[in-house]
Amino acid sequence: AQSVTQLDSHVSVSEGTPVLLRCNYSSSYSPSLFWYVQHPNKGLQLLLKYTSAATLVKGINGFEAEFKKSETSFHLTKPSAHMSDAAEYFCVVSDHGPGTALIFGKGTTLSVSS
Protein backbone atom coordinates (compact mmCIF):
# COMPACT_ATOMS: atom_id res chain seq x y z
CA ALA A 1 0.00 0.00 0.00
CA GLN A 2 1.10 3.50 -0.69
CA SER A 3 1.89 6.05 2.01
CA VAL A 4 3.52 9.42 2.45
CA THR A 5 5.69 10.71 5.29
CA GLN A 6 6.32 14.40 5.70
CA LEU A 7 9.42 14.60 7.82
CA ASP A 8 8.75 17.99 9.42
CA SER A 9 5.47 19.06 10.95
CA HIS A 10 6.61 22.69 11.13
CA VAL A 11 9.26 24.65 9.23
CA SER A 12 10.16 28.25 9.98
CA VAL A 13 12.18 30.44 7.62
CA SER A 14 12.96 34.11 7.17
CA GLU A 15 11.71 35.99 4.17
CA GLY A 16 14.19 35.74 1.32
CA THR A 17 15.80 32.50 2.53
CA PRO A 18 15.40 29.09 0.89
CA VAL A 19 12.55 26.72 1.69
CA LEU A 20 12.89 22.94 1.98
CA LEU A 21 9.91 20.75 2.84
CA ARG A 22 10.78 17.08 2.99
CA CYS A 23 8.64 14.18 1.83
CA ASN A 24 9.28 10.43 1.56
CA TYR A 25 6.84 8.06 -0.06
CA SER A 26 6.14 4.37 -0.16
CA SER A 27 4.55 2.84 -3.22
CA SER A 28 4.21 -0.59 -4.76
CA TYR A 29 3.87 0.86 -8.24
CA SER A 30 5.24 3.78 -10.18
CA PRO A 31 3.64 6.61 -8.29
CA SER A 32 2.26 9.95 -9.23
CA LEU A 33 3.31 12.54 -6.68
CA PHE A 34 1.90 15.95 -5.90
CA TRP A 35 2.37 18.89 -3.59
CA TYR A 36 -0.74 20.80 -2.52
CA VAL A 37 -0.89 24.03 -0.53
CA GLN A 38 -3.67 25.06 1.82
CA HIS A 39 -3.94 28.65 2.99
CA PRO A 40 -6.11 29.36 6.05
CA ASN A 41 -9.80 29.12 5.21
CA LYS A 42 -8.99 28.43 1.58
CA GLY A 43 -9.29 25.32 -0.55
CA LEU A 44 -6.42 23.04 -1.45
CA GLN A 45 -4.42 24.21 -4.45
CA LEU A 46 -2.12 22.10 -6.58
CA LEU A 47 1.47 23.40 -6.55
CA LEU A 48 3.04 20.80 -8.83
CA LYS A 49 2.85 17.17 -9.90
CA TYR A 50 5.19 14.38 -11.00
CA THR A 51 3.79 11.79 -13.38
CA SER A 52 6.85 9.86 -14.65
CA ALA A 53 8.12 12.54 -17.00
CA ALA A 54 10.98 14.85 -15.96
CA THR A 55 12.22 14.16 -12.45
CA LEU A 56 12.62 17.87 -11.68
CA VAL A 57 9.17 19.39 -11.63
CA LYS A 58 8.49 23.10 -11.64
CA GLY A 59 5.30 24.43 -10.14
CA ILE A 60 3.55 27.66 -9.43
CA ASN A 61 4.92 30.54 -7.36
CA GLY A 62 8.55 29.50 -7.84
CA PHE A 63 8.28 26.10 -6.16
CA GLU A 64 9.89 22.98 -7.55
CA ALA A 65 10.38 19.39 -6.47
CA GLU A 66 12.71 16.59 -7.48
CA PHE A 67 11.62 12.97 -7.72
CA LYS A 68 14.40 10.66 -6.46
CA LYS A 69 13.39 7.04 -6.87
CA SER A 70 16.50 5.66 -5.15
CA GLU A 71 15.72 7.71 -2.06
CA THR A 72 11.92 7.47 -2.40
CA SER A 73 11.80 11.20 -1.85
CA PHE A 74 9.96 14.14 -3.36
CA HIS A 75 11.18 17.21 -1.50
CA LEU A 76 9.69 20.64 -2.20
CA THR A 77 12.00 23.64 -2.53
CA LYS A 78 11.89 27.34 -3.26
CA PRO A 79 14.98 29.56 -3.54
CA SER A 80 13.53 32.56 -1.73
CA ALA A 81 10.55 32.56 0.64
CA HIS A 82 7.86 35.22 0.55
CA MET A 83 5.52 36.11 3.37
CA SER A 84 2.64 34.90 1.23
CA ASP A 85 4.12 31.38 1.21
CA ALA A 86 3.08 30.85 4.83
CA ALA A 87 0.57 27.99 4.67
CA GLU A 88 0.09 24.25 5.15
CA TYR A 89 1.76 22.04 2.57
CA PHE A 90 0.76 18.48 1.77
CA CYS A 91 2.76 15.84 -0.04
CA VAL A 92 0.45 13.46 -1.85
CA VAL A 93 0.80 10.13 -3.66
CA SER A 94 -1.45 8.34 -6.10
CA ASP A 95 -0.57 4.82 -7.14
CA HIS A 96 -2.98 3.66 -9.74
CA GLY A 97 -2.91 6.18 -12.50
CA PRO A 98 -5.26 9.01 -13.18
CA GLY A 99 -8.52 9.25 -11.37
CA THR A 100 -7.67 7.37 -8.24
CA ALA A 101 -7.95 8.91 -4.83
CA LEU A 102 -5.04 10.77 -3.33
CA ILE A 103 -3.13 9.69 -0.23
CA PHE A 104 -2.11 12.75 1.77
CA GLY A 105 0.73 13.22 4.21
CA LYS A 106 0.01 14.84 7.54
CA GLY A 107 1.18 18.23 6.33
CA THR A 108 3.96 20.69 7.04
CA THR A 109 3.18 24.14 8.36
CA LEU A 110 5.46 26.74 6.81
CA SER A 111 5.98 29.95 8.76
CA VAL A 112 7.75 32.91 7.17
CA SER A 113 9.07 35.74 9.29
CA SER A 114 10.13 39.18 8.12
Partner 1 sequence: EAGVAQSPRYKIIEKRQSVAFWCNPISGHATLYWYQQILGQGPKLLIQFQNNGVVDDSQLPKDRFSAERLKGVDSTLKIQPAKLEDSAVYLCASRGSGYNEQFFGPGTRLTVL
- The CA distances from residue 94 to 32, 51, 60, 98, in Å, are 5, 10, 20, 8
**Contact call for residue 101 and partner 1 (CB under 8 A):** yes
Q: Residue 24: exposed, middle, or buried by beta-carbon count in 10 A (0-12, 13-18, 19+)?
A: middle
Name 53's Cβ contacts closer than 8 Å, sequence gap at least 6: none
Could you give the CA distance from residue 66 to residue 2 in angstroms, rounded to a whole number? Answer: 19
Residue 91 C-beta: closest distance to partner 1, Å: 9
**Contact call for residue 44 and partner 1 (CB under 8 A):** yes
Instruction: Name the residue nearer to partner 1 (CB basis): 82 or 106.
Output: 106
Instruction: Name the residue nearer to partner 1 (CB basis): 15 or 59.
Output: 59
Total binding residues toward partner 1, as defined by CB under 8 A: 22
**Which residues contribute to the site for partner 1 (CB under 8 A)?**
4, 34, 36, 41-46, 49, 51, 90, 92, 97-99, 101-102, 104-107
